[in-house]
Amino acid sequence: MKRGRRSTAPWVALAAAILGLLGATQVSEGDLLRLGRAAWRAVQSLEEPRAPSRGASRPAGAPFSGHPRVIDGDTFDLSGIRVRMQGIDALERDQQCSRGGGGRFACGTAARDALAELIGGREVTCTPDGTLTHGRTVAVCTVPQGNGGVLDLNRAMVRSGLAFDCPRYSKGRYASAEAEAKAAREGAWAGRFTYPWSHRDRAGACGR
């Protein structure tokens, strides 16, 4: 991971203060105070933590956990990392879908709300696959269930009918969940909709 670059500004200010004193015929108390403050800022800059590079990813197979902030139906912030759920593509936040009985609804917002409901305030654990997409760590994520098992959030979102299998990345892992959602007319499958990759004008992005 690339290290953040420390600012040189405190050291430039310190050098300027020293040069100013060297060129002065008299040194006042104010001059000494300015030199002291410049020196203090320079020393403090050595102790500042280096900022992590944007889009940093965890190694494949190294899980991390926490309570997320949901962004949309397949993206959330977890433990300071923006996560993109692997192998699926959820309806975009600005998407509208047609209802089976007529009318339209904000299916993209429904996807975001469905993910938040599936999480239900529980701790999420994500296992990254070692890749990044647009600075986001790609991962399969789970939450604990009362029976001692875990719920695969990626699969559950596809089963809700508000996200879709991306065989290009999932290798068909969520195809059965999508088939079940379609058969049950869950979520967007109850009416008419545009696939999220087509909505983004990225035909073929999911490999379908």
Q: Is the pLDDT of residue 61 over 90?
A: no
What is the pLDDT, as a whole number, of residue 147? 86
User: Which pLDDT band, with edges at 50, 70 and 90, does 122 fall under?
Assistant: very high
Question: What residue numbers bound the domain in which 18 lies?
Answer: 9-47
pLDDT value at 169 more than 70: yes
| Per-residue pLDDT at 204 | 85
**43 & 138 share domain:** no
Q: Predicted confidence band at 41 (pLDDT cuts at 50, 70, 90)?
A: low
Cα torsion angle, 96, 184, 68, 4, sign: negative
- Give the CATH number of the domain where residue 166 resides: 2.40.50.90
Comparison of pLDDT for 175 and 10, the residue scoring more: 175
SS3 content of the chain, % helix, strand, coil (to 5): 35, 25, 40
For residue 30, name the pLDDT band (cuts at 50, 70, 90): low
Whether 118 and 193 map to the same domain: the answer is: yes
Closest among 180, 178, 133 to 154, alpha carbons compared = 178
Confidence grade of residue 62 (pLDDT, cut at 50, 70, 90)? confident
CB atoms within 10 A of CB 118: 18
More confident of the two residues 53 and 177: 177
With respect to residue 160, please indicate whether it lies within any of the assigned structural domains. Answer: yes
**Domain co-membership, 134 together with 107:** yes
pTM, two decimals, is: 0.71
The overall average pLDDT reported for the chain is 83
Residue 21's pLDDT is: 56
Judge if 33 and 75 occupy the same domain.
no
Structural domains of the chain, count:
2
Per-residue confidence (pLDDT) for residue 5, from 0 to 100: 44
Residues in contact with 56: Cβ distance below 8 Å, sequence separation at least 6, in sequence order? 1, 81, 137
Q: How far apart are CA 142 and CA 149, in angstroms?
A: 10
In a domain, 205, yes or no: no
Q: Are residues 86 and 171 in the same domain?
A: yes
Q: Is the pLDDT of residue 202 over 80?
A: yes
Looking at the chain, the whole-number percentage of residues with pLDDT higher than 70 is: 71
Q: Is residue 84 part of a domain?
A: yes
